[in-house]
Amino acid sequence: MQELELLRQIRQPWVQRSPQTLARAVNIREDLRNQLEQFFDRMEVSLETGTYSWMDPILSAWAEALPQSESPEMSSSLVDFIGDLLLFTVRVCEETLKPEYSVAITSGLLPIFLYCFRRAFEMEMEIRIRAISEQLQQVQQTLEKLDQSKSDFIAVAAHELKTPLTLVDGYAAMLRDALSTRNLSPYEIDLLNGIHNGTRRLKTIIDDMIDVSLIDNNLLSLNFQPVWINRILHVLENELQGVIKERQQTLTIQDFPGSGEMTFGDPERLLQVFRNVLTNAIKYTPDGGSISVDGRKLPGFIEVIIKDTGIGIDPEDQLLIFDKFARLGKTDLHSSSKTKFKGGGPGLGLHIAKGIVEAHGGAIWVESPGFDEKTCPGSTFHILLPLMTQPPDEKMARLLAPLTHKPAKKPLLGSRQP
């Protein structure tokens, strides 16, 4: 007896009993009977034609309808449902047909069910991936809103703090001038110096907060001028001598190819970049350690390499340190000093450096074997900046044309013209 004829013999008991039997396996819907009849019809067509893709529409409808849950006791996955259908079909064949016929039809239907298992798994995975992607997108949107709120708070807080700070600084200067005619005691001098140092440190933090706000909102503007990298580095060498001496460290700045060539950039902002990175190196290098600055010239770029013998950075943190508020240091070391060993800070320096470097069209990254306060594996910061033959602004380019274009030499008298 042909398999198709055997399948038609079990149709009536299969269709009548399947809704009641399978209702416990799924959250049954009113149209389940119609869907099961469609499933049986498609089994007939698939068995007759040998093409199993006839099962796809009903499988797809079930995959979308069945609840997707990670909890085993609550889930009714399509794969489980197909398994229940297979067991039910085998049972109906055994109860309705002779044993040899039951084996024959079961063998004929098995490839169809194997196809259904595979497609059910694929469809469920697609649905789960789509659901997870939607959740991730919602989380991403929430994080973006939180980050924007943080940026807005920084901008507002910075401007709100700057006004009273200006008043405090002004009154302190007036008080110092008023008392300049008196012979102040060491205690009074310490009080005035404390006010001055505190306001200066607070001004630096507020300026950093404003810079972060400008970077996050793509409002950072650069004043392109002729710059020489070696001159910026030597200015910082002189600026940091006091700190280096206090920490008993060694700062070595090498002249390297390209460092003495004129390029274009914002000198104040580039000074800020190298100051932030060098200050960071000083902070996380123990007393007596060393910091070196070297580099190389690349096609169209100059790379500055700042290496320290500090405590290093874990690989998983080497991208995070460039996020704002990412590396706060030890809270018990927060003070007016930014260069104490592992001293705390607002965690904005490297984020600002990254924003300024990228605004110049460059890149900044760090390499480190890892974090270890005993062996001090150190860290190496790479700052890649484009070498520009002229500023990007056309007006500035015309103004600085004498610097960027060498005048042609005039021929000597009596010389023959080519």
Query: Which pLDDT value is given to residue 188?
Result: 85
Decide if pLDDT at 11 tops 50: yes
Q: CA 191, CA 185: separation in Å to the nearest integer?
A: 10
| Over residues 37-62, mean pLDDT | 92
pLDDT digits (tens, 9 = 90+) for 303-355: 999 999 999 999 998 988 998 876 545 555 444 456 677 766 677 899 999 99
Q: CA 251, CA 281: separation in Å to the nearest integer?
A: 10
For all residues of the chain together, what is the average pLDDT?
84
Decide if pLDDT at 156 tops 80: no
- In angstroms, the Cα distances linking 213 to 123, 156, 164, 210, 333 are 45, 9, 20, 5, 26
Query: Which pLDDT value is given to residue 408?
Result: 45
Query: Which pLDDT value is given to residue 416?
Result: 44
Q: What count of Cα atoms within 13 Å lies in the side-chain half-sphere of residue 396? A: 13
Decide if pLDDT at 153 tops 90: no
pLDDT digits (tens, 9 = 90+) for 351-399: 999 999 999 999 999 999 999 999 999 999 999 999 998 877 777 667 7
Within 10 Å of residue 235's Cβ, how many Cβ atoms?
A: 14
Task: Specify the 3-state DSSP secondary structure of 380.
Answer: strand
pLDDT digits (tens, 9 = 90+) for 196-254: 888 888 888 888 888 888 888 888 889 999 999 999 999 999 999 999 999 999 999 99
Task: Specify the 3-state DSSP secondary structure of 391.
Answer: coil
pLDDT digits (tens, 9 = 90+) for 64-121: 876 544 433 334 688 888 998 999 999 999 999 999 999 999 999 999 999 999 999 9
N- to C-terminal Cα distance for the chain? 105
Decide if pLDDT at 298 tops 80: yes
Query: Which pLDDT value is given to residue 66?
Result: 67
Q: For the whole model, what pTM was predicted? A: 0.61
Q: What count of Cα atoms within 13 Å lies in the side-chain half-sphere of residue 323? A: 10
Show Cβ contacts of residue 343 under 8 Å, excluding neighbours closer than 6 positions: 283, 329, 330, 333, 334, 335, 337
| Over residues 44-66, mean pLDDT | 89
Q: CA 147, CA 100: separation in Å to the nearest integer?
A: 69
Query: Which pLDDT value is given to residue 332?
Result: 53
pLDDT digits (tens, 9 = 90+) for 24-48: 544 445 577 888 899 999 999 999 9
| Over residues 153-157, mean pLDDT | 75
Q: Are 233 and 293 in contact (CB under 8 A)?
A: yes
Show Cβ contacts of residue 19 under 8 Å, excluding neighbours closer than 6 positions: 28, 32, 33, 36
